Amino acid sequence: MARNDQGKEPGRLKTMWQVFKMTRRLDKLALPLMIVAFLAPVVLVTTSTLVFNDSLFIQILWIVTSIFVGFLLAMIVMSRRAERAALKQMEGRPGAVGSILKSGLRGTWRTSEMPVGVNPKTQDAIYRAVGRCGIVLIVEGVKSRTERMLREQQTQLARTVKNVPVHILHIGPESDLQLGGLTKAMKKLPKQLSKPEVIQVANRLSSMGNLNLPIPKGIDPRRVRPGRPR
């Protein structure tokens, strides 16, 4: 009886092969760099072992080890180049910020790949994230077209979560911040909230549809002392 593989996720080796083909197609330097990363430890260790060690067993052991190390380095290079190629391919496309927020932030960050504001005609959008720095609004699109949406979001936040710092980051043709540097820029923002406060703020924002709910007590980042243990 034939086995039906429809809907089955590809295995790890097949996934790696697909990633390799995509990376090689988008990045011409990927394969040469992978070859160099593989051969460097193999050549270095093999030469050193043959010159300085007379034991055949030790020579074989070190050569086999260098092959595994070379393979690992090649996989690391492929992973980095694949990530770079994927970011380059997403650059300028609507929804790219949402993909980065979903996959690039961990820990105490509370994010969503869905925008909190969007212009259906231009596909400009605003995304929101909550972290130890406070609230981050990420604007995706042309600044002049997103000013109104941004003001509306800031007004809502001012009514809903008072005293919580709000940071604005812009991704677009007029911005110096590139898609690949978004998460790094967010992580560099100064920490002003504790972990429990991040959860409280995120929960409060999830109920922004009902602005009559009371604002959680105890959230006043302006009173947070810099030396307080987190």
* Per-residue pLDDT at 212: 37
Q: Mean pLDDT over all residues of the chain? A: 80
Selection from 207, 100, 196 nearest residue 161 by Cα? 207
Average pLDDT of the residues in 120-126: 85
Taking 60 as the threshold, does the pLDDT of residue 216 lie above it?
A: no
Percentage of the chain with pLDDT > 70?
83
SS3 138: strand
Locus of tokens 């605003």: 126
* Per-residue pLDDT at 8: 58
Taking 80 as the threshold, does the pLDDT of residue 219 lie above it?
A: no
Residues 66-80 pLDDT 10s:
999 999 999 999 988
Residues 43-62 pLDDT 10s:
999 999 888 888 888 889 99
HEC string of 163-207? CCCEEEEEECCCCCCCHHHHHHHHHCCCCCCCHHHHHHHHHHHHC
Taking 50 as the threshold, does the pLDDT of residue 198 lie above it?
A: yes
Locus of tokens 């809502």: 156
Average pLDDT of the residues in 193-209: 85
The pTM score is: 0.61
Cβ-Cβ contacts under 8 Å for 106 (sequence gap 6 or more): none
- Cβ-based burial of 209 (10 A; exposed 0-12, middle 13-18, buried ≥19): exposed
